[in-house]
Structure 1
Amino acid sequence: DTLHYKKKILQQCNLNNYITPNLVYDEEKSETARKDLLSNISWANDFVLNGQKIIDRGEIVNEQTYNILESLRKEWEKRSKSVQEKRLTLVGQLLYAGIFLFCFMTYLELFRADYYERRGTLTLLFALIVAFPVAASVIVEQNLSSIYLVPFAMVPIIVRVFLDSRTAFITHITIILLCSITLRFPHEFILLQVVAGMMAIYSLRELSQRSQLLRTALIVFISYALLYFAFELIHEDDLTKLNTRMYIYFMINGILLLFAYPLLFLLEKIFGFTSDVTLVELSNINNNLLREMSEVAPGTFQHSLQMANLAAAAANKIGGKSQLVRTGALYHDIGKIVNPAFFTENQFGVNPHKSLSYEQSAQVIISHITDGLKLAEKHNLPKVIKDFISTHHGQGLTKYFYISYKNEHPDEEVDPEKFRYPGPNPFTKEQAILMMADSVEAASRSLPEYTEESISTLVDKIIDTQVSEGYFKECPITFKDIATVKALFKEKLKTMYHTRISYPELRK
Structure 2
Amino acid sequence: MNELVNKWYRNHALIYKLLLLLGTTFFIVYLFPKTGKFRYSFEKGKPWQSETLYSPFDFAIKKSNEQINQEVELVTDKSEVYFDINSDIKRNITDSYLPKFNSVFKDSVSGFEDRVLLYSTGQNALKDLYKYGILNSVYNYEDSKDVILVENNQEIDKIQFGDLIEQNQIRPYLEKLLEQNKLEKYKDDFVSMFFNLIETNVSFNKSLTDSALEEALANVSPTRGIVSEGTLIISKGQVVEDNQFNVLNSLKSEYESQVWSSKSYNWVIVAYTLLVALALLMLLLFLRKYRASVFANNTKVTFIFFNILVMILLTTLVINYNSQYLYVVPLCILPLVLKAFFDARLGLFAHVLTVLLLGFIVPNSYEYMFLQIIAGIVTILTVSELYKRANLFISVGQITLIYIIAYFAFFVIHEGQIFTIKWSTFGLFVLGGLATLFVQPLIYIYEKLFGLVSDVSLLELSDTNTALLKELSNKAPGTFHHSLNVANLAEASANEIGANAMLARVGALYHDIGKMKNPTFFTENQSTGINPHDELSATESASVIINHVLDGIEIAKKNNLPDRVIDFIRTHHGTSTVYYFYMKGKASNEDAKEEDFKYLGPKPFSKETAILMMCDSVEAASKSLKSPTNTKINEFVENIISKQVESGQFLNADITFKDIEAIKKVLKLKLANIYHLRIEYPE
Q: The TM-score by the shorter chain falls in which range?
A: 0.7 to 0.9
Match for residue 47 of structure 1?
Answer: 221
Match status 1:219 vs 2:398? yes
Structure 1 position 128, deviation (Å): 2.0
Distance 1:483 1:140, change over 3 A: same
Which one of 323, 328, 331 corresponds to residue 152 of structure 1?
331
2:355·2:369 contact (CA, 8 Å) conserved in 1? yes
Structure 1 position 461, deviation (Å): 0.7
- Structure 1 residues 299-357: Cα deviation after superposition (integer angstroms, max 9, x where no partner): 11111111001111111111211111100000011111111111111112221221222
| CA–CA distance in structure 1, aligned partners of residues 667 and 254 of structure 2 | 75
2:575·2:602 contact (CA, 8 Å) conserved in 1? yes
Which one of 297, 301, 323 corresponds to residue 122 of structure 1?
301
Match for residue 29 of structure 1?
Answer: none
1:161·1:205 contact (CA, 8 Å) conserved in 2? no
- Structure 1 residues 46-70: Cα deviation after superposition (integer angstroms, max 9, x where no partner): 13675399xx9679xxxxx9xxx99
| CA–CA distance in structure 2, aligned partners of residues 42 and 455 of structure 1 | 95
Match for residue 424 of structure 1?
Answer: 602
Match status 1:363 vs 2:543? yes
Match for residue 644 of structure 2?
Answer: 466
Distance 1:182 1:440, change over 3 A: same
Match for residue 402 of structure 1?
Answer: 582
Match for residue 10 of structure 1?
Answer: none
Structure 1 position 475, deviation (Å): 1.3
- Structure 1 residues 46-98: Cα deviation after superposition (integer angstroms, max 9, x where no partner): 13675399xx9679xxxxx9xxx999998886655444443343333223322
Larger Rg: 2
Which one of 662, 667, 670 corresponds to residue 492 of structure 1?
670
Distance 1:102 1:385, change over 3 A: closer
Distance 1:165 1:77, change over 3 A: closer
Matched position secondary structure for 1:51: strand
**TM-score, length of structure 2 as denominator length:** 0.63
Matched position secondary structure for 2:530: coil
- Structure 1 residues 162-200: Cα deviation after superposition (integer angstroms, max 9, x where no partner): 111111111001110111101342010000000110111
Match for residue 26 of structure 2?
Answer: none
Distance 1:239 1:184, change over 3 A: closer
**142-151 or 274-283, which moves further after superposition?**
142-151
1:432-443 paired onto structure 2 within 5 Å = 432-443=610-621
Match for residue 102 of structure 1?
Answer: 281
Matched position secondary structure for 1:426: coil
Distance 1:485 1:72, change over 3 A: closer
2:476·2:519 contact (CA, 8 Å) conserved in 1? yes
- Structure 1 residues 485-504: Cα deviation after superposition (integer angstroms, max 9, x where no partner): 11111111001110112333
| CA–CA distance in structure 2, aligned partners of residues 44 and 110 of structure 1 | 61
Match for residue 566 of structure 2?
Answer: 386
Distance 1:408 1:170, change over 3 A: same
| CA–CA distance in structure 2, aligned partners of residues 231 and 72 of structure 1 | 24
**TM-score, length of structure 1 as denominator length:** 0.84
- Structure 1 residues 16-56: Cα deviation after superposition (integer angstroms, max 9, x where no partner): xxxxxxxxxxxxxxxxxxxxxxxx99995513675399xx9
Which sections of structure 1, spanning at least 5 residues, go unmatched?
Answer: 1-39, 60-64
Match for residue 446 of structure 1?
Answer: 624
Structure 1 position 289, deviation (Å): 0.9
Matched position secondary structure for 1:103: helix
| CA–CA distance in structure 2, aligned partners of residues 375 and 42 of structure 1 | 78
Which sections of structure 2, spanning at least 5 residues, go unmatched?
Answer: 1-213, 228-239
Distance 1:359 1:48, change over 3 A: closer
- Structure 1 residues 403-433: Cα deviation after superposition (integer angstroms, max 9, x where no partner): 1221234xx2112232222211111111111
Matched position secondary structure for 1:400: helix
Matched position secondary structure for 2:360: helix
Q: Percent identity?
A: 41
Match for residue 316 of structure 1?
Answer: 495
Distance 1:453 1:224, change over 3 A: same
| CA–CA distance in structure 2, aligned partners of residues 299 and 334 of structure 1 | 12
**Once superposed, what is the RMSD of the aligned Cα atoms?**
2.7
| CA–CA distance in structure 1, aligned partners of residues 658 and 258 of structure 2 | 69
| CA–CA distance in structure 2, aligned partners of residues 109 and 98 of structure 1 | 16
Determine which structure has the larger helix proportion and give its number.
Answer: 1
Which one of 374, 377, 390 corresponds to residue 195 of structure 1?
374
| CA–CA distance in structure 1, aligned partners of residues 302 and 242 of structure 2 | 49
Structure 1 position 211, deviation (Å): 2.7
Count of residue correspondences: 455
Amino acid across the alignment from 2:634: S
Structure 1 position 295, deviation (Å): 1.6
Matched position secondary structure for 1:239: coil
- Structure 1 residues 108-151: Cα deviation after superposition (integer angstroms, max 9, x where no partner): 23322332210111101111222222322222122222111111
- Structure 1 residues 349-385: Cα deviation after superposition (integer angstroms, max 9, x where no partner): 2212212222221112122111111110111111111
1:257-276 paired onto structure 2 within 5 Å = 257-276=436-455
Amino acid across the alignment from 2:450: F
Match status 1:180 vs 2:364? no
